[in-house]
Structure 1
Amino acid sequence: MTAEFQSHWSPTASLEALKSRAEQSAFVRGFFAGRGVLEVETPVLGRHGVSDLNLDGIAAEVHGAPGWSDTRAWLQTSPEYHMKRLLAAGSGPVFQIARAFRDGERGRRHNPEFSLLEWYRPGFDDDALMAEVADLVCGWLGVPWPQRLSYRQACRQFAGLDPFAIGGGELAARCEVWVGADMAESLGRDECLDLVMSHAVEPALRAEPPTFIDRYPASQAALARTSREDGVEVAHRFELYVRGIELCNGYWELTDPAEQRRRFETDNALRRQAGKREMAPDAYLLAALEEGLPDCAGVALGLDRLLMLKLGLDDIARVMAFPVERA
């Protein structure tokens, strides 16, 4: 046995953290039981992966699966597609404490395998769901009720720019301080705006009370519906930050199958440009949308990060029994 295994067999989380994780799970289940939201389980291993440019799934091989034309399957980056199929089948409000997998993600706030709380509320829009997210997070952490800023307000206040009005050249020039001139000039608009968020807005939020950021640019809608407000197209998407840590990503969900198909195609065009593998559109999800997804809002919340905030820890490994390097 090598020295590595002799010295790294033990968990990285303390017994206190492991007990708090169990208490957090019980709190979450009690929260939704009190609101009549059904707990469900969906596959960790699925036939389709996600097409989002910013997410990379982890592939697996499956042999002997009836009806499969090949052996490739995907560890799910989130249970979203399967949960939406349940909604289309008439499940009503549902939640899940899931294991999720994303390749290439390891750092103080990331591990390739992590715990995700995801839930969907038929009849809710993004405003109603933000209130429920606040109830859950504030109830567990004991923090003040979140303030709310639009994406535009946050960028104006903390980065000194209007993300909808600034020209591409000026935006790239603003990013040079973080990545250099050559890299900044090669980036697309949304990539530059991501740098503004990560290098200017998010650090400023560490000194702010809990904060919802909403009304993202329509180009960053992912699976959210969009509308026109104040002369610009915005996405009904929100994120919650506590002490500068992003906890969740929520949408007033897109229900139009034609628009969903178009977004899959756009995702794959972006993946081709980035030299990434194209991902087959999830035909099961599209069929469910054709059948009819109820008007709903949904959100995914990182339970490991929530526990880090509860315990005042700054490394995800300290709330996980075995992060990837000890798995």
Structure 2
Amino acid sequence: MDTQMSELNELMKARRNKLEALYAKGINPFGQRYDRTHSCTEIVEKFDELEGKKVSIAGRVMAKRIHGKAGFAHIQDMSGQVQIYARVDDLGEGYELFESLDIGDIIGIKGEVFRTRKGEITVACKELVMLCKSLRPLPEKWHGLRDVELRYRQRYIDLIVNPEVKEVFVLRSKIITAIREFLNSKGFLEVETPTMHPIPGGANARPFITHHNALDMDLYLRIALELHLKRLLVGGFEKVYEIGRIFRNEGISTKHNPEFTMLELYQAYADYEVMMELVEEMIAYIAEKVLGTLKISYQGEEIDLTPPWERISMLGAIEKYTGIDFSAVNSEKDLKEIAEKFDIEIKKPFSKGKLINEVFEKEVEPRLIQPTFVLDYPIEISPLAKRKEDNPELTYRFEGFIGTFELANAFSELNDPIDQRKRFEEQARMREAGDEGAHAMDEDFLKALEYGMPPAGGLGIGIDRLVMVLTDCPSIRDVILFPTMRLRE
């Protein structure tokens, strides 16, 4: 390590010396505005019309080789790379600048497009401008680097040297654009709601806490978008959505980042059946629009996104994969035996609904490869969803799964303020018993419901997980530009 640091320091010292040399020659090492006529990729793609013509391009030097009084380099911009050719006869004193270039420097080039004898499309430099002197060398062995944590910490280098990483984030942007296009075409209105809440609500999760000095009050970074959007249904909006950042003070894994992006939408006079149809149609639209196909590969599994997706009840899925019929299990003794069978820790407050969910997550989720809607969740874990009329222990709620990931969560929304208050009270008892993620009492939301909220369907989709599946990335940190990382000691 000491040897590596010593070598790095020597390389940086050499670059600082080159920086001073540029200043001594009256050259600004950090440049000004530079007007380009084409991107690097356009030079290659439009060679037939650009051959012999003058162009202006700019980018980062990624490779360089000198052959006496002439040399070649590859420069890279957002679109890709192109080769440039420099020689003393064309650049005069400017050739010294070309010779002094380091990998990583950003330059501007004016020149003519031609093809070399080996067939490579190239720009012959007639003018060379330094736009930014790189003072720190790029890692030589970055490509294929196994230290993925270092790539996450220094994403800017990852993006420079690994074009496939950049493509993931280009696709992420296109996916979010396609979501907006789809929802706008369906008459949904995009809105913005507060990020800081006086009461954390809309999900079972631990919040981050901050303090507002002027108001001398604690506030919570939002753990969901739900309750403010439902207030808008009370106010008369009928189709609303928000794409926003969510913050949950919980663990980090390949599926979880404390800060993530969520789509939530609400449609008055709809239910969870409408939401299922919307999810199928929207994800199919996104895949077709962005990828050009409904058949994708995720971590070696071929997945068909074509609607309709499979539908199965939560209890039916558990019985299918474990043989246990929870509808016939009621005694605490039997429930504890099931917990022991699947090595599930019994945490207080204990309930049948929670155990059902834990068995499902452990035994069923890993088997849900193809797009699947799992329906009718226990009421204990669904405090904001309507009860099923034929079974009040269950709710009109579904989750959508692809590639073992839960991507979507939706309800027929509870609009009965009396039932909602009872649910909140039960959640409050669970909090007092030690469940930090249980829902808090929200009197203002209850007051809004008392004015009347129309029956509605509500939906949440994790944008990061959707991007993971559509770009075949194994970790959520692969699709978040700057994921949360532990500070280095």
- Please say whether Structure 1 and Structure 2 have the same fold, judged by a TM-score greater than 0.5: yes
Equivalent position to 2:312, from 143, 149, 159: 149
Q: Distance in 1 between matches of 2:347 and 2:240?
A: 44
Q: Distance in 1 between matches of 2:152 and 2:242?
A: 35
Q: Does residue 473 of structure 2 align to residue 313 of structure 1? A: yes
Checking the alignment, whether the CA contact within 8 Å between 2:202 and 2:225 is kept in structure 1 is: no
Checking the alignment, whether the CA contact within 8 Å between 2:342 and 2:359 is kept in structure 1 is: no
Q: Distance in 2 between matches of 1:204 and 1:179?
A: 18
What does residue range 56-75 of structure 1 map to in structure 2 within 5 Å?
56-65=206-215, 70-75=216-221
Structure showing greater Rg: 2
Give the secondary-structure state (helix, strand or coil) at the position aligned to 1:49.
Answer: coil
Greater shift in the superposed pair: 73-82 or 209-218:
209-218
The residue that corresponds to 2:275 in the other structure is: 129
What amino acid sits opposite 2:183 in the alignment? F
Give the secondary-structure state (helix, strand or coil) at the position aligned to 1:95.
Answer: strand
Q: Does residue 463 of structure 2 align to residue 299 of structure 1? A: no
Q: Distance in 2 between matches of 1:165 and 1:218?
A: 17
The residue that corresponds to 1:172 in the other structure is: 336
Q: Does residue 175 of structure 2 align to residue 30 of structure 1? A: no
**Larger relative contact order (CA 8 Å, sep ≥ 6):** 1
Equivalent position to 1:10, from 139, 155, 167: 155
Alpha-carbon distance change, 202 to 9 in structure 1, aligned in 2, over 3 angstroms: same
Give the secondary-structure state (helix, strand or coil) at the position aligned to 1:324.
Answer: coil
CA displacement at 1:232 relative to structure 2: 6.0
Greater shift in the superposed pair: 217-226 or 11-20:
11-20
Checking the alignment, whether the CA contact within 8 Å between 2:377 and 2:396 is kept in structure 1 is: yes
Equivalent position to 1:225, from 386, 398, 401: 386
Alpha-carbon distance change, 233 to 263 in structure 1, aligned in 2, over 3 angstroms: closer
RMSD value, Cα: 2.5
Give the TM-score taking structure 1 as reference length.
0.88
Equivalent position to 1:192, from 355, 362, 367: 355
The residue that corresponds to 1:271 in the other structure is: 431
What amino acid sits opposite 1:63 in the alignment? N
CA displacement at 1:312 relative to structure 2: 0.9
CA displacement at 1:33 relative to structure 2: 1.2
Q: Distance in 1 between matches of 2:437 and 2:311?
A: 37
Alpha-carbon distance change, 140 to 169 in structure 1, aligned in 2, over 3 angstroms: farther
Alpha-carbon displacement from aligned partner over 1:48-79 (angstroms, at most 9, x marks no partner):
11285x411111111223xxxx5100111111
Checking the alignment, whether the CA contact within 8 Å between 2:153 and 2:482 is kept in structure 1 is: no
The residue that corresponds to 2:113 in the other structure is: none
What amino acid sits opposite 1:8 in the alignment? R
Give the secondary-structure state (helix, strand or coil) at the position aligned to 1:179.
Answer: coil
Equivalent position to 2:449, from 283, 289, 300: 289
Checking the alignment, whether the CA contact within 8 Å between 2:205 and 2:438 is kept in structure 1 is: no
Q: Does residue 243 of structure 2 align to residue 93 of structure 1? A: no
The residue that corresponds to 1:254 in the other structure is: 414
Equivalent position to 1:162, from 316, 325, 349: 325
Q: Distance in 2 between matches of 1:121 and 1:51?
A: 17
CA displacement at 1:148 relative to structure 2: 0.4
Equivalent position to 2:259, from 107, 110, 113: 113
What amino acid sits opposite 1:10 in the alignment? R
Checking the alignment, whether the CA contact within 8 Å between 1:308 and 1:316 is kept in structure 2 is: yes
Q: Distance in 1 between matches of 2:446 and 2:152?
A: 48
CA displacement at 1:200 relative to structure 2: 1.0
CA displacement at 1:194 relative to structure 2: 2.2
Checking the alignment, whether the CA contact within 8 Å between 2:242 and 2:263 is kept in structure 1 is: yes
Q: Does residue 216 of structure 2 align to residue 55 of structure 1? A: no
In structure 2, list runs of 5 or more residues that go unmatched: 6-148, 160-164, 288-293, 295-304
Q: Distance in 2 between matches of 1:136 and 1:227?
A: 26
Give the secondary-structure state (helix, strand or coil) at the position aligned to 1:164.
Answer: helix
CA displacement at 1:7 relative to structure 2: 8.8
Q: Distance in 1 between matches of 2:249 and 2:282?
A: 29
Q: Distance in 1 between matches of 2:427 and 2:181?
A: 37
Q: Distance in 2 between matches of 1:232 and 1:321?
A: 43
**In proportion to residue count, which structure has more helix?**
1
Alpha-carbon distance change, 303 to 32 in structure 1, aligned in 2, over 3 angstroms: same
Q: Does residue 394 of structure 2 align to residue 234 of structure 1? A: yes
CA displacement at 1:238 relative to structure 2: 0.5
Checking the alignment, whether the CA contact within 8 Å between 1:173 and 1:184 is kept in structure 2 is: no
Alpha-carbon displacement from aligned partner over 1:101-153 (angstroms, at most 9, x marks no partner):
11113110001110000000111111111101111122223213211001121
Q: Distance in 1 between matches of 2:313 and 2:450?
A: 32
Alpha-carbon distance change, 6 to 317 in structure 1, aligned in 2, over 3 angstroms: closer
The residue that corresponds to 2:375 in the other structure is: 214
In structure 1, list runs of 5 or more residues that go unmatched: none
Equivalent position to 1:203, from 341, 350, 366: 366
The residue that corresponds to 2:190 in the other structure is: 39
CA displacement at 1:21 relative to structure 2: 1.1
Checking the alignment, whether the CA contact within 8 Å between 2:408 and 2:459 is kept in structure 1 is: yes
Q: Distance in 2 between matches of 1:232 and 1:48?
A: 28
What amino acid sits opposite 2:306 in the alignment? P
Identical columns (%): 30
